[in-house]
Structure 1
Amino acid sequence: MSIAKSGVSLVNKPNVLERARQVLLHEAEEIHQLAKRVSRDFEAAVQLILSCRGRVVVTGMGKSGHIGGKIAATLASTGTPAFFMHPAEASHGDLGMITAEDVVIALSNSGESDEIINILPAIRRIGARILSITGTADSTLSRESDVHLSAAVSHEACPLGLAPTASTTAALALGDALALCVLDSREFTAEDFARSHPGGSLGRRLLVRVKDVMRTGDAIPCISVQANIQQAIQEITSKGMGFTAVIDQTSTPVGIFTDGDLRRLFVQGQTDGNTPISEVMNHQPRLLGIQQMAVDAVSLMEHHKINGFLAVDASQQLVGAFNMHDLLKAKVV
């Protein structure tokens, strides 16, 4: 509903931009104070997750549940198998997802959410460990936990003091801190991150190899070192890559001839189609191994101002070719 249709007017209302700044600064200050209070309990929480032989099960009700879902997703994407379990569904069968090898992270600002308190005895019977994040140190949930982390705030950013705002931000930040400390402890790398994000841009950049983007077989522009310029032009035209490889009798690349080379020959007046390609080709073609990362080719193309590469196997025989269009198609760039 638009402001005009709803009848709401900004006239005589607090300055919107000033209110926005107040909210942001207040939540930032609450996180700043939270950082000052980080203690040995946090180290115990990290160790609890690191020692988990099962999965991390995150649970929370209402707004805490939304924060819990994000924490579970962050843990899962940074090397810690994790998922979110709705506490209300847990008592109706979803507790079957928990095993004795798991760690349960329970979020509740009050520490007294009925849906969570009601399933604590069952979680204990299963044998899973419990890590709680609450805004109240002396609460049922905190007392029943193996490790408790405080996400307490002085007051909410909500002017009514009712809507969870600063408290949920604090819990979210604490969850991020947990996930990243666990990541550091496990020496989780960008390559590891990419393996769990194969559909994202980082995954494509860090997982796609030359063999995944190169053209092979008859699609490779290739002529013999015994060929001439006319044959090179025909090969470049038919394969449409803007260049052709030049190979010897062992299929080893000994040169490359490009559209740019051809244009330079015309400028210089060297247009005889019978000229041996060996006299005009580039004798130092850029080669990449098929196992090299495709993203490496992007940097090399930019550095050397070229548009294509030849791919070779372990014996240095030509097995593929690719250009910038192939990298764009694979969404490496």
Structure 2
Amino acid sequence: MYTIDKPLIEYNQMKIEQLLQLYEFLGFIYPEKRKRLDPVMTLIKENWTKALHANYPLFWVGTIVENDKNIVSTATCWQYLNKGMLGQHLASNHPVGSRLIFLNILQKVIENQLINTIDSYQIYYRPQNKYSARMFEPLSSRLGSDLSQIIFYTYCEVPFIKEFLVEEVEISEVDEANRQQFLEFVQMERGEAYIKAQELDSADLTLERLNKKFTMHGLQRKRSLFMACSKKDSKVRGVIISNQSSLGLNFSFLENSSELILDKSSEKYHLTVARLLLGKASSLFPQFPLNYLPVLVDPVHCRLIEKLQGKVIREYNLFIILRGGYESWYEHADNLTRAIYQRFVGQSYERSVTN
């Protein structure tokens, strides 16, 4: 393992105020993002303070300790599902730092994948991020659809929509009675790796077990799932997966995102189904601190969101990897790190000699 003269990474040692200063120093919290966070910053600080006491595997923030190379880096990982992790907030003042802290987190996942049953790991990243593209995309292609997948999303803010009824379409919560129909639709629209990673084939669809763990720390993490079927032929026309968590565990509010998946084979019901499902999702947040619903949709449906007075914010890719691929991922990340680390150490040595 790479070192910088002493143990490299420490976990959950910083308070949220220190982390916020670090994020701003590294440019991870930029003025526009700060503006979006400020109205709910007090609540975010409260939730992060609780989360930082939860520690591994529920919520862990890695930071590179003070070192003579002046590398400053941080990354967060938390238990997003009963058997799945979500990585986020990777920031550094040098490419070496990003790679070192990422390798350390990945090593921890590999060492504990059987002990803590880590069946999946997911990361949202911006498509234009070259580092993320090199880290995830070649690997996903090499592992194939059995172990990995990349899904393209548009992230939107949608005003809350009042629930309503229509004669042509029926909305129902996903349960054991309609689970198979739901899974067949998601399989067609997203694929098998997605179903496994999101644990849509598990007995605990609403994440009750995970929510109990978070509740012990004064937090919550649960979800609700609904599908829309045409009454004429009982065909699924769309589904929505609504995440409900303590606000701000992710600074883009992805922890409370609702993923809207519409039937690509027919556009006839798209607008009606989108409005119905988003109305159902809106009803889950009666006292939500934000004045909008964070929504993830396929990029092709951006115009639908705009018709519902929603605002398109940015594009995200979601990298999914399943257990069985972690070791290949580490090898890939290690290869990306080795050359740049050796170059960095060489440059540091040259500076120390010439100064």
TM-score, normalisation: structure 1 = 0.21
Q: Which has the higher strand share?
A: 2
Between structures 1 and 2, the one with greater helix share: 1
> Between Structure 1 and Structure 2, whose CA radius of gyration is higher?
1
